[in-house]
Copies of this chain bind each other. A is one copy, B any other.
Amino acid sequence: MIRDYVKEIVKIIRSTKDADKLKDLLSDYHEKDIAEAITQLSGQERAKLYNILDIQTVAEIFSYIDDVQKYLEELTIDKAAKVVSYMDADDAVDVLDDLSENKKNEIVNNLDEVTGKDVRKLLSYEEDEIGSWMTNNYVSITDDLTIRGAMSELVRQAGKHDNISTIYVVDKDGKFAGTIELKDLIIARENDNLSDIISSSYPYVFEKEKVSDCIEKITEYEEDSIPVLTMEGRIAGIVTSTDIVEMVDDAMGDDYAKLAGLTSEDDLKEKTFVSIKKRLPWLIILLFLGMAVSSVVGMFESVVAILPVVICFQSLVLDMAGNVGTQSLAVTIRVLMDENIDAKKKMALLFKEMKIGLLNGASLGLMTFVILGFYIHFFKKYVWMSAFLISGCVGISLVVAMVISSLVGTIIPMFFHKVHIDPAVASGPLITTINDLVAVVTYYGLARLLLINIFHI
């Protein structure tokens, strides 16, 4: 019942001798599946295929291949440039980015004039600017057409451009004047006015806007495409919903990476040295902050010298504070990503996180008190009274550390957000350190006060 398209395609390519028939059979499949099939063929089989398929089809197939360098190198420079020329400008840029600097320049210099200009334009944007995501694959008409005129202009442009569900309208100065839903154009009567189906208040972004600043907005409109305007109000290109899927994936992937202390997302293809550069800065900062914690622990050496059993539970208190802090941090960062959050909501979040910290801390503190009491009595051979005093110390420290960690894990990212520093990057190490310090001081301080000074265990 479930068809394996890729297998079918490989079989067809291997068994069909007649070029025209092969072309016809393949035309029925999705380019993404052909792309996957291609990676399973031998170099010779591929060479045969490249000759049979027209350049436009090869271009569409290649835009679905992840690691395209190897396959582009099987073509002559001239043919490779033609293939890239047929791609949407943003796909072309993605492919070029996979190549070595040499190969890339060689191909860029051989692109046809229009694509070359488009590609150079796209390459001129910073990676985090929305302009670097856009494509020229859209239909645009002027606002002075009739319904019939618009329809025939659409038919004319649809040959080259396949994002047709939203048609872009420009005024006589070439400025963006609104959009027409293709659906409305199709069901319109011939005598209707074009202006009646133009929505002139369609959302847009500017080419230099940062992706992180406008991604929330773009996503919320739930449109198939959004126009990207120059500062003068002309259409520079559009971003489509498949681009938006990728943008969301990238943005979330970066936040995910940052939570783990990587400066940005990492992948298998990346050189070891690049990965090290992404991770080392973080680790060095953490090392120095860790040394600061060490020197505070050092102040309690005397407690440990008198009562060595307390060191057993240091890692427990510190780890739990760290875990709670990370939970609060993750929640707060996701809430902050929603721009519509006001001071009242922030206070609500803070209060909620504290409440969660207190309730979770109380449950865990109580469990710790009971379990460790028995453990210390039976395994560490302390009398019942001392055993429960020590476990009580750990339990109370847990509650205090967890409440404060929740607070710190909420306030620090809010602070960084307020002063326009990316909270996902900056918060992690600071929160870990503050939580470690609080946990150490609470735990050893309480141990010194309660166990040594008051009860003289």
Q: Could you list which residues of chain A lie within 8 angstroms of chain B, going by C-beta atoms?
A: 1, 3, 5, 8, 27-30, 32-33, 64, 154-155, 158-159, 162, 164-165, 181-183, 186-187, 199-203, 219-224, 231, 233, 241-242, 244-245, 248-249, 252-253, 255-257, 259-262, 265-268, 272, 275-276, 279-280, 282-284, 286-287, 290-291, 293-295, 297-298, 301-302, 304-305, 308-309, 311-316, 318-320, 322-324, 326-327, 329-331, 334-335, 341, 345, 348-349, 352, 355-356, 359-360, 363-364, 367-368, 371-372, 375, 379-380, 432, 436, 440
Contacts and interface: CB of A to CB of B under 8 A. Distances in A.
A162 B222 CA distance: 13
A186 B156 CA distance: 10
Contact of A363 (B27, B280, B349): B280
Ranked nearest first, the 4 interchain pairs of A and B with the lowest CB-CB distance are: A260-B330, A252-B252, A241-B241, A165-B165
Given A241-B241, A248-B249, A249-B252, 14 more contacts: A1-B231, A30-B199, A33-B201, A245-B248, A260-B329, A267-B335, A275-B331, A282-B323, A282-B327, A283-B324, A284-B364, A294-B315, A297-B315, A318-B319
Contacts of A64: 220, 222
Given A260-B329, A326-B260, A327-B260, A364 B283 contact: yes
A294 B313 contact: yes
Contacts of A187: 155, 158-159
A432 B252 CA distance: 24
Contacts of A241: 224, 241-242, 244-245
A319 B276 contact: no
Contacts of A364: 283-284, 287
B286 A320 contact: yes
A295 B268 contact: no
Most buried by B among A203, A219, A287, A329: A287
A112 B297 CA distance: 68
Name which of A335, A341, A359 has the most chain B CB atoms within 10 A of its CB.
A359
Contacts of A165: 164-165, 182, 224
A301 B311 contact: yes
16 contacts: A155-B186, A158-B186, A165-B224, A223-B242, A241-B242, A245-B248, A259-B259, A260-B329, A262-B330, A287-B364, A293-B316, A293-B319, A295-B312, A301-B308, A301-B312, A318-B319
A352 B318 CA distance: 30
B352 A287 contact: no
Copies per assembly: 2
A182 B164 contact: yes
A272 B249 CA distance: 29
Contacts of A249: 219, 248, 252
A5 B201 contact: yes
A28 to B, nearest CB: 5
B320 A261 contact: no
A175 to B, nearest CB: 11
A221 B162 CA distance: 15
A257 to B, nearest CB: 6
Contacts of A379: 295, 298
A349 B268 contact: yes
A283 to B, nearest CB: 6
A205 to B, nearest CB: 10
Contact of A367 (B159, B202, B287, B341): B287
Given A256-B330, A275-B352, A334-B253, A201 B291 contact: no
B312 A280 contact: no
Given A186-B155, A233-B1, A334-B265, A309 B298 contact: yes
A360 B295 contact: no
Contacts of A316: 287, 290-291, 293-294
A154 B222 CA distance: 23
Given A162-B183, A241-B242, A283-B324, A256 B262 contact: no
Contacts of A32: 203, 220-222
A205 B128 CA distance: 33
Given A242-B222, A352-B272, A312 B331 contact: no
Contacts of A308: 301-302, 304-305
